[in-house]
Structures are given as C-alpha cells and as structure tokens.
Chains A and B, each alone.
Chain A
C-alpha cells in the first residue's frame, strides 16, 4: 500500500511565524502535490512537483513556497503565516506514468490554525 505521511495532524502558529509542513511518501512516486481544503471550496492546488528540485505553481501559490530536495519528501513553507492561511493542508503523490499516474494518494492532512 502507498503510504503518504504528514509531519503534524494539528498545528497552531502565530501571525508572522515561518511554518514548515512536511510530507513523505514511500512508494517512489515522481509527482507530489500540496492542496488546501476549505469548506465549500473543495481542494485547491498550491504547488506541485514532478521531480526532485522541480516545482510548479498551482492555482493559489501566493504566500507559499515549496522544497523538494529528495524524491520522497515535499515540504510546504509559509514564509510569514497569516490568519487567512488557517486551513486543512493535504499532501498527495502519484506515479508519473499514465494511466496509474492519474490516481493521487493522500496524506492524513494537517489542520493549521494561525492566530
């Protein structure tokens, strides 16, 4: 079974703090994704990566950055946390090759509260 883990289930931070969310997958997937999930909005893509040291902006990259130094690890960074970044953050991974590559495997999520 594919396993995607996230470093924290719950996180409370102060406005202006730098926040790191870590995601690790153990199935040698090339693709990794960061989403935020908000009620009534579904999942929105923040950033994704198709390879080590490679990153692409999603729909809502403002206020976020990412790092992928190793294939299995994809980090989301909030440079200066703000209250409007309070949300559930989901990491996902998938194989590059189609058709199996189109299915994403999700981590348990990190619920971030910014005070």
Chain B
C-alpha cells in the first residue's frame, strides 16, 4: 500500500522568510497526483497546491512552490515570504488508486 511520510511534526519560520516542508511517499504506481493541503486552526482544510506525476515541471501557486523529485519519491513544499496567515497544519497527500495523507506538519510563523 502507498504511504506518505512527513518527517517534520513541527516547523517554525520567521515572518518574511522561506521555509520548506518535507514529504516522501512510497508507491509502485506510475500515474498519480500529489497535493499539499493546509488546515488553519479551527478552520476548513484547503488545497494549497497540486502536482500531476506525469508533469516534470514543478507546480507553483504565488508564494507556494513544490520540488517534485519523482525518482526519489519526494514532494517538498516551499513557502516564500512567509506570512502570519500561513500558520497551520500542512498535510501532504497522495492520490493514485488510493488516497493517502501524511501525519502533518504544524507550521508556526513568528512575527
């Protein structure tokens, strides 16, 4: 079965700085999607960014970008110019035949 590993339970970043959240996954499938979801405190989980495995180009959404290394099965999220509103739990997710989520990384942003 596919697994998703987020090795950083907690991360901290200074406002306006850059932070990278790590995610690795294990799969034998060739066609799949990868996601980063954000869950702010007491608020709804929302999609941050998605990546199709067949696309070599890394996805970018404003201040959020990914480093997708298919051979290494790595999918890290980079947040540039961090803002106080970026503080949240971040979940890495995999969608192939099954949907899998990592355990999450709690990001704190220091003013």
Instruction: Compute how far the CA of A5 lies from the CA of B43 in the bound complex, rounded to whole angstroms.
Output: 12
In the bound complex, do residue B99 and residue A45 qualify as a contact, i.e. CB atoms below 8 Å apart? Answer: yes
- Of the 9-residue stretches A13-21, A22-30, A35-43, A76-84, which lies at the interface with chain B? A35-43
- How many residue-residue contacts, CB under 8 A, span A and B? 41
Interface presence of B86 (CB below 8 A) = no
Distance in angstroms between the alpha carbons of A82 and B49 in the assembled complex? 36
Q: Which residues of A contact B25 (CB under 8 A)?
A: none
Contact of A43 among B33, B52, B101 (CB under 8 A): B101
For residue B30, CB closer than 8 A to chain A, the reply is no
Contact A106 B101 (CB under 8 A): no
Q: Taking chain B's interface residues, is the majority helix, strand, or loop, or is none over half, making it mixed?
A: strand
**Known contacts A33-B99, A43-B91: A103-B35 contact under CB 8 Å:** yes
Contacts A40-B9, A43-B101, A104-B99 known; list 12 others, CB within 8 Å.
A35-B101, A40-B103, A42-B6, A42-B101, A42-B102, A42-B103, A43-B93, A99-B52, A102-B35, A103-B35, A103-B50, A106-B45
